[in-house]
Chains A and B, each alone.
Chain A
Amino acid sequence: MAPIDTHGLRRPNDPPVLILTSLASGPKHGHALAKDIEDFAGVHLGPGALYGAITRLEERGLIEPLATDDRRRPYRITASGSAALADAVVDMRRVADVGATRLGLSPVGLA
């Protein structure tokens, strides 16, 4: 199988993957991101880890900040971020399907 350019998004519990997944439902600021990620993934990202990932994602143009006067600045996913997340999700789903098939479970199936 040819390697896929995952834009540095490798594992489902990588902070960048979690942040992009959270932002896929709409813009959020840091605390809202952390709470959402904890709700859907059960992963608590500390402030340092969260902002480390936000910095990398913004540098790569996968997310962008929204203008605000509040210190709690919201971020939104960009078109490149959506494409990168889609690639990563397909990649992860492919692995999940192989695992499910080999375990005799119902594959989730590719979209």
Chain B
Amino acid sequence: MKNAMVLACALLVLPGALSAQDASKESAEAKREDRLKTLEEQVRALAAEVEALRGELKTARESAANAPATRPKLVLASAPYARESAEAAATPGPPQGSSTAQTQVFGGATSNAKLLNPDISVIGDFLGTAGNNSIRPVRSLEMHESELGLQAIIDPYARGDFFLSFGEQGVNVEEGYLTFTSLPGGFVAKVGKMRAAFGKVNTIHNHALEWTDRPMVTDNLLGGEDGIDDAGLSVTRILPAPKWIFMEATGQVFRGDSSTVFQSVTHKDVSYVGHLRAYKDLSESTNVDIGASYSRGHSAAGADLITLPSNFHTDLYGMDATFRWKPLRRAIYHSFLARSELVWSQRDQLSPLSLFQTQRAFGFFTSGEYRLTRRWTMGGRFDRTGRAQQANLTDTGFSALLTYWPSEFSQIRGQYRFARYAEGTDGSELRFQFLFVLGAHGAHPF
């Protein structure tokens, strides 16, 4: 009975206890839900905040991208694009400098190091020839020369210039020299391999000539296309002269090896070149440039001899004259250039009977070039010259030229060349040339 009463009481109490337990559970779940809701709201708020910040960042980036790279501070109060205080206007704004163009740098990570590289250029010289010339034949088609130029300022006192000539026969250092630009006394000195200051044409690179070839006198008396081009020293100075006349003297000493003109056997067999130049402006559009040259070195004829090879010399005398007309207002459309050089050669050599003799030869050319329009130029040249080793043999020739310039950096030229050689043979050729410039090729002296 007692057990039955306990069981009945338990049954009576259990629903109440169970209901009380259910109530506490509901209360806890409600709290959890509230907390979750609060957290969800906080997350939503944070997400909205992040979104807002992203938007602001995007706007800021877009406005920065659309804004001028570096708008300078206003200098003048009246300048239309901005207004600043009078105090700011009194001080000039900083120059723009942060934005610069990129050159074609393919090295990526090393691009900054390349900023100090020299100016690099390549000039292609493609030649084609049709016709006949049995005395001095040339190839029908050839990549005549590819000139690689490397030029830079070395330090505050000097600059360096290298011109490497790649031909179909090999590579040649056409010029490679150091120029001291900051010497006292107005001197300018060069050290290295260079084209000698003998006349005008000898100093000019192939691509800067007015013709597809060099004059006959260069071939016959000055060693051919390379001319007098040797390793040595050069000193130049402007000389005192009457007002408005420019006079300049150049003295050069070379090792003594230049094509077929000079050849050294010992260290003492150096060659010399001296050049005196006078220039005058006749008006702002016309000027005349006259030069006299002398060179002496050891003749190649003595190089193979065992006894007294140093007694064989070559002496060269030259005169050059250039007349230019270029109206300043129309300089890119019309101009005229006339040029002439005369060369006398005295070459010591052995006669066929092995007797010492001196061959005295003379040669010259005269040429003219007229710019018809911005893109077209026509010209002509007359040649007549003896031969250094056989002065009694004289070659004569003339050329007519037409040049087209698509731009400053390319040139197409045609040249008809007739030659009457001393052997009694004629050469008649039609030559065409394509010149093209890649990169930054430094300007050549006037």
A, B in one complex: no
